[in-house]
Amino acid sequence: MSAKKVKPVKYSPEPTSNKFTYLLGGIAVAVVAVLVIGGVLWQSGSTDSRNDGYGTVQNSAVQVSLEDDGTILLGLPDATETIDLFEDPMCPYCAELEHKHGQELAQAVDDGRLAVRYHILAFLDRLSSSGDYSTRSVAAAQCVADSGDAIAFSAFHDSLFSPDNQPAEGGNSDLDNEQLAQMARDAGATDEAAQCIADGTRVEQAAADAEAGRQALAATGAAGTPAVIHNGVVVDALGNENWVAEVAG
């Protein structure tokens, strides 16, 4: 391993502007380049899964709720600390963060040391084969969260970022709504949640929520996704292997 740690390059959100729609084409090209560079740099670091073998959330007392702004709050009601996690379902180094720290986060949530507020974004829609994969995944996560089953949501969230399921940017395929619904069923979600996904019930609202999340991310001062915010401070979640233990109560 090199003695000098290289900080990964991440997607940098554009400032909020009423010209955003017209800039999407140019941004998409820039994002591709940034993601390629970021993926190479992030892969150069350690990606060993911390707390390997723990799995996803197991504590039946953990709660999940879909908030009015589209964020998803996962944790015990009396959790000591709360973090905000910004991610996109197609972002490869968001997947790396999930792989490396997801099980560690799950135990901290189960223990009541940490609650996680998920802001699931959709800026990578244009790099998906369907053109709206990220948005549909946001909607799917919201359907599962709205059922109130925290264990199913945690398992579904983990599946979204699994290398077996996450589409490649610029790839020739991704998951349709029925496949996302089956993934939810496999994670233990209710029939109602799976039907919500299959029908695309929340897709329109998810698009609005994802855009609001993009604006919220820009306001945090974070360089891009994945981004972890704790008490208003950006956490070095890609560079500091001990960040979970440091922020958890």
User: What CATH number has the domain bearing residue 69?
Assistant: 3.40.30.10
Residue 156 lies in a domain: yes
pLDDT of res. 30: 43
Residue 27 lies in a domain: yes
Q: Which tokens go with 231?
A: 């008490």
**13 within a domain of the structure (yes/no):** no
Q: Which domain holds residue 43?
A: 20-247
- In-domain check, residue 6: no
* Separation of alpha carbons 108 and 126, rounded Å: 34
> d(Cα 64, Cα 76) in Å, to the nearest integer?
9
- Judged by DSSP in three states, 84 sits in strand
Q: Is 2 part of a structural domain of the chain?
A: no
pLDDT beneath 70, residues of the chain:
1-47
Give me the pLDDT at residue 120, please: 98
Other Cβ atoms closer than 10 A to 19: 8
pLDDT of 249 reads 77
On whether the CB atoms of residues 153 and 19 are closer than 8 A, the answer is no
165, two tokens? 């399921």
Nearest to 88 by CA among 188, 4, 31, 161: 161
pLDDT at residue 20 in the model = 34
The number of domains in the chain is 1
User: Closest Cα partner for 193 from 139, 144, 128?
Assistant: 144
Residue 12 lies in a domain: no
pTM metric for this prediction = 0.83
Q: Is residue 14 part of a domain?
A: no
Tell me whether residue 184 is in a domain: yes
